[in-house]
Every structure is written in structure tokens, then in C-alpha cells.
Structure 1
Amino acid sequence: MLTDWGPHLPAFLVLLAYLWLPGLALLWAFGQRGGRILLTAPAFSVAVVGLTGVVLDLVGIPYGALAQVVAAVVLAALAWLVGRLLPRGGHVPGSYAAGAEPGATPGDGRRWLFPAGAAAGLAIGAVLLVRRMASVIGHPEALAQRWDNIFHLNAIRYVLETGNGSTLTLNRMVSPESAIALYPAAWHQLASLVVPLTGDSVLVAHNLTLLAVAGLVWPASCIFLVRCLVGPSPVAAVVAGTAAAGFSVFPLGLMAWGPLFPNILALALAPVSLGLLVRLLGPGVTADRTARTPDAAGRVRLAASLAVTLGALFVSQPNAFLALLVVAVPLAATAWWLGLRAAAGARRRGPALGLAAVAVVVVTAWLLLWNVLTTDRAWDPFTSFGRGVGEAVMFTANGRDDVPWVLVLLTAAGVYAAISRRRLRWVVLGHLSLVLLYAVSAGGEEGPWREWLTGGWYVDSYRLAATLPLTAVPLAALGAAHVVEALAAGAAALASFAGRPGAGRAAHPVAAVVLLALAVPYSQVESLTQATRWGKQYYAWEGPENILTRDEYELLEELEELTDPDDVIAVNPWNGGSLAFAVAERPVTQYHVGTPDPLVQEVVTGIDAAVPGSPACEAAEELDVRYVLDFGTQFIIPDDPAALAYTGVNAVDPAVDLNLVLVERNGEAALYEVVGCDAP
């Protein structure tokens, strides 16, 4: 199976270059150094991609690979200029985190251990994730046979065809008359950049983007967050990468639900934003013993970096920003309380009043953002609130049967360690907040409070379940480091008691090896196997609610030979006909499911039996409709009244529907030409 992906390796490597190189260039130009920029670069690259799409659309320059490369160079140059204008930045003298010795970095002489652990964690997580996701997808040209994928695949082609890669206007694909048509575009931009390298296959480019983002960017982001919270612990780094591949709710859960690919991109970047926020607030909110309080210039640089990554979340999917807002509440409250206590202890009224004013401003801004990003669309509850809490705590959300015990136990150990170390108690509170939001969406009582709390996720338990690893991964990594320390301390004490203190020196590495040898394989348990089965059924060609059958897909591939590029094809989006645009670059009457406009309505309800001068023929002439795709009556939602309304393009009978003549048939899928609208 993996051999099917081999021919697309060059395109995959180019995609990785788009994900890493612009961010690395931006960070380097801004004056950032060190190995951590390798972990954070994709967040900055996505921000570059998203900003490029918006700016190019505003100035009327088509978006594409060349424009993206030039824009990345220009933005790196601007970052270099800004970096030279800003003070270099540093740390407040004597501001190490508790337990660290001023003038010395814990782990001196063994600094290679964390980079090695980070590399191992990223490699393990990437291999586990890519292998499993490739197994779910199957063939490189397979597609997730789900509702949202019609839009996503067509949107990638839309970026290529129109040169519009702007988040402000991408939704013009379905609302062409809108001046502002917001839809997060970063996912579709990234995929569009490699379509020409895949034999012009939108489906292959889309799947490669999924493997790159969920398989490499996500574990890299998690390792960075753990570094900010736990410090340079190689054990924590390896477990972070491993745990990133161990939760069935993300990314596998969103591959089969929706599918929500922009959400996958945004959540893959969210740990970077959270890690930068931790660094900005200083050592009082982290267990990293090497952390120091940034000075004023350092805070400005960190704030600028954080703002860039937040921009990346907005051009990817604002849902992830909402999750960040939730976790930021206990984090910011902890930092604020520490500052207030320090000001009160020093009897400094000015800083105390300043902190009070900051609290008012921050709370007001938080509420404004929350209300702006919430919606009134809601999914119904399907369980009880208490059971929803249990599902979130045990990572068995949305009907999963098997508990990933290794991750549950490591997360529990992390909760204990965070509470014990005080500085990380906010992580526990942030995790519990996400648990409660999932429970509210899954089993909360319907009403305005439920909608207000979870409306930013459409009160969708699948979206909220996918946010749980944002805090669970660092807790599991912290728990692993804590368990190793406890085992090593016990073994060292036992060796000393036995009169062999020298043997105690090997206790820590031995404990680390034993824990990792158990955690890595046992993180890949039945819960992931179940998620894999669920995913495979939605990537299969045959199913009762599929978008496309194999016959239909093969007919779409032939459209380039059967029709001219400007010929518009009348379709029913509910049975996959809209994907003629994504697969064959042919314009269609409707690019996603929804209510058709009046002209399209005339065509899709009456074109089969229309005669010259009829409303259907006049509408077809105005829209330039030349062909009809008949993909039958297998719909995404069976027997949906909206899908059944397309009577002129569903189950065409040439013996009766004389306005249409068969051009090509492949199994049950057929292409017809409109011939009866021309006046004799």
C-alpha cells in the first residue's frame, strides 16, 4: 500500500519545504536562533501563506507558487528590518525559575540530550501518524466521502483556477456576489501549491497536505509546547511526540468527521501559540528550570511572534483560537495573581492598580472575542453530562469503546505532578475546562448557556473532543518525566541502601528506557484501531452515503476529453456531481451543497424535458450550461428533500427526457449533452 505513495514523494518534500522554509526564514531574519525554531517554523509559514493570499487578492495579483515564494522572501526581508529596529531583548537579571542556579543552565554538558529526544519524539510520532493515516486513506487519490470534502476539494481547485487564495474572499466560490466572503483559506492554499507536482490531482495534493500537517507539524508543535512547560527533558520530548500519535480523537477523529481539514491545520499549530504565551508570561507559569523572565524588549519580540502565530490560527480555522482562549484563562489568571501578589508584597500601589486595569481590559477583550466567534448553529446532545465528563477524561469521546490506558495513566501522573509543582496547576485547570466543554456539547441541557459556551464549535462534540490533546499531550509528557524521576530516585535509594551507590547513576537512564519501551508500543492500542476502521469506511469507494463511487470518479476523469474547458455542467451536489470542478477543472452549476439560486434551480429541475424558449432553456443559455451529469440518487444524506429536488439531473431517462442525449456512460454514472434547447 505504501508503495502507491512513492511516486508522490517529491511533491511531499516540496510541501514540507513550503511548511518549514518560509517560517525558518522569517524567524532567522527576526533574530531567532536555536533548535526550537525548527519546531515552530510551520506556524510562521502558515501565517506567511495566509497573509500572502489576502494581500495578493487585495492588490489584484494571482496567487500561486511563484507569488508565494516571492512573498515569503519579501516578508523575511521585512522581518529582518523590524528585527534590526527593535531592541535585541533578553532577560531580567537573576530571574531564573525556582530551583535553577543563576549563572548555570541545568543539564550543562548534556545539552545534546533534549535535541536528541526531540528528534526521536518527532520521528516516532511522524512514523506512527503517517503510517496510520496512509492506511486510513488507502490510495493517494482516495477521498473522504463526507459532506465538507465537496467544499474543500473544490476550494483547492478554485484557488488554482482563479488565483484567489484570500481568507477574506475564498467563499465567493459558493457566494460569487459577496464583497466579503470569509472562509479560512490556508489549508486550500497549501494544497494548491503542490497540485501541479501531482499530475494535476487535487485529491493527491489534498491527501499529501493531510499527511504533512497531521503527521509532522502536529508532533513538532507538541514537542515545542512540552519544552516550554517541562524544560529540556528528553523523556518528555519523546513522550510528547508519541502521545501526539496516540489519541484517536485527533487527528484521526476529524479525518472521518466533517471532514474538518482546516480544523486539523489550526489545532496542529495551536501548541506553538500556547508555548509562546507561556514564554511571554515568564517562569512563574512553567516547570522549566531554565526559564527566565524576559525583559521589556524580549516581551515585545515574544508578543510579536505570538501575534503572528495567532494570525496563522485565524487563516486556518478560528476554532483553535477559541480553544486557546479557554486554556489561557487559568494561565493568564495565574500570571496575573503572581504579579499582583508580588506588587502587594513590595507595597507598590502603582503596579497593583496597573494589574487591576489590565484585568478589566483583558476580560472585556476575552468576552468580546468569545461572543464574536460564537454561532447559533447547534448539534443535539446524545448522552448525559456525567457520561460526557467520563468520556473526555478517559479519551473515549463520541462512542469509542476502548480506553487508551497508557495515555490515561500518564495524563493522571501529569495531573499529580502539575498540582505538586504548583506552577503548572493552570494546565490541569485548562484541561478540565476542555473536558467540561466537551461534556456540555455531548450531554449538556439544551439552552442559551450551552450554545454560548460551545457555540464557537457549533456545539459539536467531535470538534471539542479534538481539542483535548492540546492539554493532554503536555500532561502525559510531564507525567512520564515525573514517573521516570520517581523510579530513578527509588532505584538510587535502593542502590545506596545496598551499599552500591555507583549503581544509582544508571537509575535514571534505565528508568527512562523502560518507560519509553512500554509507552511507545502501548500507546498504539485498540482505540486507534477502532478509529482506523471508522476512517477507512469513509475513504472507501462503496458505501450507502458516499459522495462518489469509483464509476463516477472514473467518469469525472474523462471529462477533460469529453467536454471543453468553458462548458458548464449541470450537477446535483448531493450526489458528488460538483466534484467535476475539483477533478476535471470543469465549471459546474453548484460548487457545494446548499440552496441553488433561481437560475440554477430552473436548470436542475427542468432541463431534462425543456423545450426552446422554456425557463429551463433560457436559464441554461444564460449560465452557459452544455452538459448534465447524472450520478443517480445515492446522496450524502439519503432521501434528503433538498437532494431530491434536483429532478432534472437525477436518474435521467433518454427515452423520455428528449432534451438530453447520452455522451458517455460508466456503470450507473452518465454524462448527457443538452441538445433540445436550440430553436429549429
Structure 2
Amino acid sequence: MSAWLELLPVVLVAAGVLLVPGVAIAWAAGLRGTLALGVAAPLSVTTIAMTAVLAGRMGVPFGPVPVLAATTAGVALALASSGLGRRPWRAGQARPSRRTVRGVTRPAPATVAGVAGAAVGGLCAAAAVVRGVGDPARFPQTFDAVFHLNAVQRALESGNASSLWLGTVAAPERASVFYPAAWHDVVVLVVQASGAPLVAGVTAVSVIVAGVLWPLACTALAAEAFAGRTGTVVAAGVLSAAFGATPFLLLSYGTLWPNALATALLPGILACVLGVWRGGPIARAGAGIDAEVLAGARPVLGLPARKRVRPALVAAGTLPGLVLAHPNAVLSLLFYLTVLGAVAGLVWAARLRVSWRLRWVVAAAGLALLSAEAWLVAASPVFATTRRTSWPARQSLAQAAGEWLLSAPMRTPVPWLAAALVLVGAAAALRRRDHWWLLACHATAGALFVLVAGSDGRLARAVSGPWYDDPFRLAALLGLTAVPLAALGLECVVDAARGRCVERLRLPDGLSHGVLVALAAVLVAGVTGGAYAGANSRVVATWYGGHGLAGPAELALLQRLPRWVPRGQVVAGNPWNGSALASPVAGVPTLFPHLNGDWGTDRDLLAGHLEQAATDPSVCPAVERLHVGFVLDGTVAFWPGDRRQARYAGLSVEGVQGFEPVDSGGRLTLYRVVACEPRGSRPS
């Protein structure tokens, strides 16, 4: 626990990096309350990631100073655009009433309650991450984690964290390769601002993504979806920690940190979109808005057009960050917006007397949009690379459907009570036209997951390209709709039991509906062990628990590398044996910083023939050009038998003339390349 206490300042820095720029810009743009907090992270990510791109193009080292300058510019731009509306706008309220005491504006009760609910859910989620990780200096030894850790280290060393360049980590001879680097940019800033080791920065960001970003975003979405009903907003914040698929799964599996960050941004952005739609067909159909909200709040059923400008501008401002966090999140957002638009169109056509000609025009426009989306997903060159990736189905269609119904996709633990609340909420949404969009989004996302998880057919391959045909990435979308549905379900349960609760528990007669729902949410978190914190910690621990690349002895050797390797020299080694971790663990540059890549002529030559340095005249010139001075050799324990490992057969130098052992640890031995040293230059 002392190690986690030492990490606390780094966690606070990570919270500041991910929230402060966005809060400042959202406030300047005129947003207030839960919505301002919900979109803070998306705006921060846009600011940070775009700063990295611009700094890279201008040759300016990326760091806190450029980000501060970009934040200032963003605030100025937001202030200029805020004149498009007259008053600050709060989530779930059309015309917010200001409560002023001695000239100080107090936040609305829904905002305070929502933040409190997010705090409860956030503590539960953070506890799950802390228990799952175990040691803040620990990192998952997975395929993708190797790239991400090396990319952060490369950005720290070079000062270039641009998404237009970071892909060169696995293609070093190319001048630029795009890779969505927003997550890496955030970690770089945290490490620079806190002075913490790289892995500590990664762990701190994971804690904040799960414990702060996700619950705040869910609270903002609930405030918009349920018109600011206080108890339901609190319930969404508390229950945001109850589902293992979101946000915990991608923080460990893969390990897909960038995709996890992008997924955590989605609810806040969708809340902004709902703010634009308020007063449209969905809101006008809202017979389900309760009397507590309607009392004295008639404008909630319709917003003037000018009141939609600010959330529209802010939503547009979040899109660059979403693209640079992970492009498939943009497709996920487009997917939800399409369903939302379709439901709105159906409600509009059913409730209003519209000519058939206009209906046909709208239907044709919708069909054109769907066709464009289908082309983008299944045939466009944008996702050509990811479409070539294929993961075989791991289960049947029926099993996948059952997992989605139980809110436990990809064998994550079943959150029984939360799953039951989701089903109750789905039934309630079916009865209320203003919530049809939420039910439709949940069902359609579930259908997509079921198809990809349970089928290897052509249709599954065609629609899953942006998600790498990987059901884990689609499973992580569960929480986006499951959380608000569970909150709605809890509200319905409280409504049904309200009279009995007041009578049997001797509660005050005047206890409001919102307070009862909030208390019920806290009770659910308590009886489920902190919103299933124990079960969700096991989800995180699943991929944090292995040592396939480097165990304690191998890691100790990697940490000793700076004693042996002079500055400016590079360490070669089969990356599959753990040598690829030398850079993020010890700051020593490695020849192959990922398990697979487009390495170029010289690196490919050494990968296949370095052991022939004493006999092949083409090897030593390549060694000198690449500044290779050492080799880490050892057996491979990670994915043994993978055919891609044969590419590095020439890096096995044990007992080979021209290679001198200098240190060892576990499966690894460090060798000095003496075959290419001029005579008389060998160190004594």
C-alpha cells in the first residue's frame, strides 16, 4: 500500500492533465454542471493530441508549455464563440436557475449530486484497478503493451509525440507513420510533469480513466438522457463501476490502453450530442419525464436553436481528440448517432402529420447515410489494414447473446444485480418513447457484438473491420448503454417500492424521489462489494498477472543495463524473449522495440544473420550503422511457437565466436558484440 501512496501525487497530476484543460475550455464555451465535467476529458485529449501534432510539425519539443499555450488559445476561442448564446447551459436543464449567495453562483443540486455519485462509483472503480494491478510498478506483458510502452519512451526521448510520426517505432526507416497517439501524449505529459517513471505514469492514467473519466462521462450522459433527474444521475455515477466490460476490460486485455481511453470519452461526447437534439423529436415525445422535473420547468421540452449551438460546437471540438485516441471510437460514435437518428425519425413520423413525400425524402436521406457508413466500414481504404485482421469466433451466437443479456460479454464476471437492473431499465425504456433511442442503441450494439463474437462469416468480417474483428473491443461498448439503463431500472424499482420503503423504514414522508434513488444506488454499491470491485479487479488482473516476456530475474537484468551499455549504443535481441522491454524499463535503446514491424534492410539483416558477424562481411557495417554494441539472448517463453519469431533466428549468439557474455538474469544473457570492434579497442 505504501507504493500506492507514493503514486498518489502522480495520480493527481494525471487527473489534472486529463481534466483541467477541458474544464477551462468548456467553462469558457458556456457549459456548466455535469456536462462541463463530462466533456472535460474529450476536450483535454483534443488539446493535448493536437498540440503534439502541431509541435511535431513545427519542430518544437512536446511538453507542458506547448499544452498550456494551446489551452490558453482554446479558452480564447471558446470565449469568442460563447457569445452565440446568452446564458451558461447546464446538462438536463433548458434554462438554469442561478442560486446566488453574496454574489457567488452556487451549482445546481443535480450537479452536486451527480458529482457525488460519480465520486462513489469512481472510488469503487479505482479500487478495482488498484487491486487488479497489485503493484504500481507492474505492467501487463502483452503484445500491444510492448509497442505502447516503447512508443511513450521514444516520445520522451525525442520530444516528438505526434500521431503523424509515432508509428515509426515499428517502422524506423520511414519518415512518418500515422498512429493514434493521444493516450501516449497524455502519459508523456504525466511523466514530464510528475517526474515519475514511465510505468508509474501508465498506471496513474489507468486509475484516472477508470475512476474519474468514466464515471463523470456516465453522469453527464445520464443528466442529458434523463433530463437532469437527480436520483437517476446519481445512480448512473455509482453504477458506472459495476460492469467489468467497461472500463476495466481494455485496461488489461491486449493491452489496449488507447482504445480504453477512447471508449471512456464516448459518453461525454454523446451527452453533448443529446444536448443538440434536445427539443427535437425525442424530447417532444417525452411522456416519460416525471412530475418532479416538469414542475416549473416547462422549457425542458423544447430548447431554442441558439441553446443548441454551444453543445454542438463543443461536440465538434472533441472529435479530433477522439480520432487521435482511437479511430474506431469515431465509428462507434457514428454507429450510436445513426441509431439515435433513426429512432428520432420514427418518432417524428409517428407523432406528426407529415406528407408522404417528405417522409420519402427523409427515408432516402437516411438510406444514403447508411450506405455511406457501410462503405466506410466494409470497403473504404481507411480501415483496409484493420480489415485484414481476423480473430476466430470463441463461442456460439447463443452464448454471445446470453453474455450480452447478462452484461458479461467475453466471459467477464456477471454483475447479477446490475444486470437485472439493466433488464428492468430496458423494459422501462420500451414503454417511454423518449428512451427508445437508448434501448435501440443497447440492442444494436449487442447484435453487433453477438455477430462478431459468435460467427466467422463474411458478414461478421465485413462489419467488424474498424474493431479489428475483435469481440473484446465491441464488448467494451457495453457500459455506454448498460450504465444509463441500469440507472433507469433502479429508478423504476424505487418508484414501485417507494410507499413501502417510506412506511417500513420509517423514512420522512417528505423524502424526495431523487434522494430515494440515490440512497438505493449507494445501497446497491454496498451489497455488491463496492459495485463488484472484487470481480472487476480480477478482470484487470487477468492480463497483468503474466511474466511471459520478462520475470523478476529478467527485469532485474534489464534494470542493470545502463551499467554496461554506454550512451549512444543500442541493444539487439529477439524482442519475443523480453529484450524489447529494455527501453521502457531501463531507458536503453533497443534495435527491435516491438515484436513485429517493418524494420528495414539493415535491421532485417541483423535479425537473420547477426550471429555470423565474424564470418559474413556484410554484418559488421550494418552493426556500425545502427550503433549496435550488445545483444540480449535467451529462450522465448511468450507465445512459444509463433511463426513470426523465426524472423529473429540470427540473434541467438550463445557460444558463438565474437560475442562475449557480460551479465545474465533468468532466461536472458547480455553479450558484448566484439566481432565488430577494431582490434585493441575492447574494454578491459
Cα 1:61–1:506 change in 2 (3 A) is closer
Pairing 1:383–2:395 present: yes
Which secondary structure state, in structure 2, belongs to the residue aligned with residue 148 of structure 1?
helix
- Aligned match of 1:302: 311
**2: CA distance between counterparts of 1:82 and 1:308?**
12
Q: CA deviation at 1:548?
A: 1.6
Pairing 1:366–2:362 present: no
**1: CA distance between counterparts of 2:231 and 2:6?**
36
Amino acid at match of 1:336: G
- Aligned match of 1:38: 37
Pairing 1:186–2:182 present: yes
- Aligned match of 1:316: 325
CA contact (8 A) 1:340 1:355 kept: no
Q: How does 1:246-645 map to 2 (within 5 A)?
A: 246-283=242-279, 284-286=281-283, 289=293, 291-340=300-349, 344-345=353-354, 355=362, 358-359=365-366, 362-371=369-378, 372=380, 374=383, 375-400=387-412, 402-444=413-455, 446-488=456-498, 504-506=509-511, 508=513, 511-512=516-517, 515-524=520-529, 529-533=534-538, 535-540=540-545, 543=547, 546-595=548-597, 596-611=599-614, 614-630=617-633, 632-645=634-647
Q: CA deviation at 1:662?
A: 1.9
Amino acid at match of 2:417: V
Amino acid at match of 1:673: R
- Aligned match of 1:154: 150
**1: CA distance between counterparts of 2:608 and 2:399?**
47
Pairing 1:202–2:198 present: yes
**1: CA distance between counterparts of 2:88 and 2:664?**
69
Which secondary structure state, in structure 1, belongs to the residue aligned with residue 403 of structure 2?
helix
Highest RCO, 1 vs 2 (Cα 8 Å, sep ≥ 6) = 2
**1: CA distance between counterparts of 2:334 and 2:50?**
22
**2: CA distance between counterparts of 1:348 and 1:436?**
31
**1: CA distance between counterparts of 2:514 and 2:50?**
45
**2: CA distance between counterparts of 1:88 and 1:609?**
75
**2: CA distance between counterparts of 1:528 and 1:648?**
47
With 255-264 and 6-15 compared, the bigger mean Cα shift is at 6-15
Which secondary structure state, in structure 2, belongs to the residue aligned with residue 423 of structure 1?
helix
**2: CA distance between counterparts of 1:184 and 1:441?**
24
CA contact (8 A) 1:608 1:657 kept: yes
**2: CA distance between counterparts of 1:313 and 1:235?**
30
Q: CA deviation at 1:485?
A: 2.1
Q: CA deviation at 1:207?
A: 0.8
Cα shift readout 1:548-574 (whole Å, capped 9, x = no counterpart): 211222222222232223111112111
List runs of 5+ in structure 2 lacking aligned partners: 101-105, 680-684
Cα shift readout 1:569-623 (whole Å, capped 9, x = no counterpart): 1121112211222222222211211154332232233323421662222221221
**1: CA distance between counterparts of 2:508 and 2:127?**
40
Q: CA deviation at 1:111?
A: 8.2
**2: CA distance between counterparts of 1:218 and 1:317?**
16
CA contact (8 A) 1:313 1:321 kept: yes
Q: CA deviation at 1:153?
A: 0.5
Amino acid at match of 1:520: A
List runs of 5+ in structure 1 lacking aligned partners: none
Cα 1:200–1:36 change in 2 (3 A) is closer
With 529-538 and 137-146 compared, the bigger mean Cα shift is at 529-538
Cα shift readout 1:466-493 (whole Å, capped 9, x = no counterpart): 111110001011111222222225668x
Q: CA deviation at 1:292?
A: 4.5
Q: CA deviation at 1:43?
A: 1.3
Q: CA deviation at 1:513?
A: 6.2
Q: CA deviation at 1:526?
A: 10
Q: CA deviation at 1:298?
A: 3.1
- Aligned match of 2:25: 26
TM-score after normalising by structure 2: 0.88
Which secondary structure state, in structure 1, belongs to the residue aligned with residue 632 of structure 2?
strand
Cα 1:302–1:360 change in 2 (3 A) is farther
Which secondary structure state, in structure 1, belongs to the residue aligned with residue 635 of structure 2?
coil
Cα shift readout 1:640-676 (whole Å, capped 9, x = no counterpart): 23224423434x42xx312111222234332211111
With 336-345 and 422-431 compared, the bigger mean Cα shift is at 336-345
Amino acid at match of 1:657: V
CA contact (8 A) 2:183 2:325 kept: yes
Q: CA deviation at 1:406?
A: 0.9
Pairing 1:172–2:182 present: no
Q: CA deviation at 1:121?
A: 1.2
**1: CA distance between counterparts of 2:657 and 2:444?**
62
Q: CA deviation at 1:416?
A: 1.7
Which secondary structure state, in structure 1, belongs to the residue aligned with residue 630 of structure 2?
strand
Amino acid at match of 1:487: A
Cα 1:161–1:491 change in 2 (3 A) is closer
**2: CA distance between counterparts of 1:104 and 1:56?**
40
- Aligned match of 2:103: none
- Aligned match of 1:9: 8
Aligned length: 654
Cα shift readout 1:485-534 (whole Å, capped 9, x = no counterpart): 22225668x89xxxx9x964347478436623541124448976455335
Cα 1:81–1:197 change in 2 (3 A) is closer
Cα 1:341–1:293 change in 2 (3 A) is same
Cα 1:198–1:637 change in 2 (3 A) is farther
Q: CA deviation at 1:323?
A: 2.2
Q: CA deviation at 1:235?
A: 2.3
CA contact (8 A) 1:149 1:259 kept: yes
Amino acid at match of 1:419: L
- Aligned match of 1:60: 59
Q: CA deviation at 1:456?
A: 1.7
**2: CA distance between counterparts of 1:348 and 1:29?**
44
Percent identical among aligned pairs is 30
Cα 1:318–1:622 change in 2 (3 A) is same
Q: CA deviation at 1:32?
A: 2.6
**1: CA distance between counterparts of 2:409 and 2:525?**
22
CA contact (8 A) 1:571 1:590 kept: yes
Amino acid at match of 1:472: A
CA contact (8 A) 1:144 1:539 kept: yes
CA contact (8 A) 1:141 1:204 kept: yes
CA contact (8 A) 1:610 1:659 kept: yes
**2: CA distance between counterparts of 1:80 and 1:115?**
22
Cα shift readout 1:97-145 (whole Å, capped 9, x = no counterpart): 9xx9x9998x99x985423321221111111111111111111110111
Q: CA deviation at 1:33?
A: 3.3
- Aligned match of 1:666: 665
Q: CA deviation at 1:355?
A: 4.5
**2: CA distance between counterparts of 1:104 and 1:620?**
68
Q: CA deviation at 1:8?
A: 2.5
Cα 1:302–1:503 change in 2 (3 A) is closer
Cα 1:642–1:103 change in 2 (3 A) is closer
Cα 1:114–1:390 change in 2 (3 A) is same
CA contact (8 A) 2:26 2:40 kept: yes
Amino acid at match of 1:389: A
Q: CA deviation at 1:79?
A: 2.4
Q: CA deviation at 1:90?
A: 9.2
Cα 1:490–1:6 change in 2 (3 A) is closer
- Aligned match of 1:649: 651
Q: CA deviation at 1:205?
A: 0.7
**2: CA distance between counterparts of 1:168 and 1:556?**
30
